[in-house]
Amino acid sequence: MSYSKDFDQLNSRVTFAGYRFSEENFMTMSEYLDASDSGMVRTGNDKEMYTATYNQNFRDAGVSVYLNYTRHTYWDREEQINYNIMLSHYFNMGSIRNVSISMTGYRYEYDNQADKGMYISLSMPWGDNSTVSYNGNYGSGTDSSQVGYFSRVDDATHYQLNVGTSDKHTSVDGYYSHDGSLAQVDLSANYHEGQYTSAGLSLQGGATLTAHGGALHRTQNMGGTRLLIDADGVADVPVEGNGAAVYTNMFGKAVVSDVNNYYRNQAYIDLNRLPENAEATQSVVQATLTEGAIGYRKFAVISGQKAMAVLRLSDGSHPPFGAEVKNDNEQTVGLVDDDGNVYLAGVKPGEHMSVFWSGVAHCDINLPDPLPADLFNGLLLPCQHKGNVAPITSPAVKPAIQEQTQRVTPTEPPTSISVNQ
């Protein structure tokens, strides 16, 4: 039987559960299977057990209390009585917020022996991404204590160091974990005075190769679902899925392995960490993949330097406002303003570009080789008309009301319609 009751106004809960076997040789199904497989004679046949638990939260004070009492009787040995009490407190200490401390007292019985003691645990934030902790166990016959320091360097890297004593022997251990683009790297080391010293290194990764290209990558499950990313051949582009970012390789490819099956996954470029000479005109892609599938998505990324240029046609005028400058890959790299000025992305020495307006390429520009040292000093770029397209001047701008108003000239003098002539 079991019983549970919540007292919402008091922020508390009471739970009771118990059972009793009326026959000494009764077995549960799991006990029967264990006995059949091992052929061992079972001892300590259960007779009855009941447990009572009480939880109380004091929200305003940041305090919670937990009480548990368990009584276990057997047909062929002495009963066991276990209980524990835990008190935890969350509070702020000056400028340090979210400090937590908990204390647990316990008493457990087994084979006419009692084990009783106390646990103490303290956790305190240290800076923005670090935590200092203390754990102690006293009274169980072997006292132990440990001080730990945990730090998260960034989304992909974290480490922890622990120093402690147990049975008057010193111990030191720690680990380092990094979710890299090529593999997941884990380092660990342990030292226990007078006992042993150990160290370990783990590299977990894989390789994916498709008709669209491939890349080395970290992996969670061998043969699992993953997404091949193409950044238009641009290297070192940071792409994120559900975990830490991966960076495209020298061929502009990367594999996102932390994707879910039968779920709309989203991968995006971290624009804040783009290389200096890269510009993303498309930064988000989505994919829904079956289990074990390899998806493919391509980002529109432009590589090259950035420049402020002035475009001039052969007659000294400039392309109209809103004209698009595109490279040979039909990627828009700039828009012309009122005076023919344009901010260009993806600038490379000697590159050819075309200027479009009214949906047609009207003129071409060729970037100098080598490029000048200062690309933000109004680089003058002549725009040569294409042979099959006649120069088009910008249409005269007229107020909208003028376009919609017609002049009306009366053919006869107006006549009065007043009743008083």
Per-residue pLDDT reduced to its tens digit, 250-278: 999 999 998 999 999 999 999 999 988 88
pLDDT grade, residue 411 (50/70/90)? low
**Is a pLDDT exceeding 90 seen at residue 401?**
no
**Is a pLDDT exceeding 50 seen at residue 313?**
yes
CA dist., res. 101 & res. 128, Å (int): 19
Cβ–Cβ under 8 Å, residues 113 and 80: no
Biggest CA-to-CA distance, the chain: 130
Q: Both ends of the chain: CA-CA distance in Å? A: 108
Cβ–Cβ under 8 Å, residues 227 and 295: yes
pLDDT grade, residue 395 (50/70/90)? very low
Comparing CA positions, the residue from 379, 298, 385, 383 lying closest to residue 344 is: 379
Mean pLDDT, the chain, whole residue set = 86
Q: Cα–Cα distances in Å, from 97 out to 123, 155, 406? A: 11, 22, 73
- Residue type for 305, please? Q
**Is a pLDDT exceeding 50 seen at residue 402?**
no
CA dist., res. 208 & res. 261, Å (int): 18
**Is a pLDDT exceeding 70 seen at residue 104?**
yes
**Is a pLDDT exceeding 90 seen at residue 416?**
no
The SS3 assignment for 73 reads: strand
DSSP classification of residue 372? P
- At 410 the pLDDT is 52
**Is a pLDDT exceeding 90 seen at residue 43?**
no
- At 140 the pLDDT is 67
pLDDT grade, residue 413 (50/70/90)? low
- At 12 the pLDDT is 92
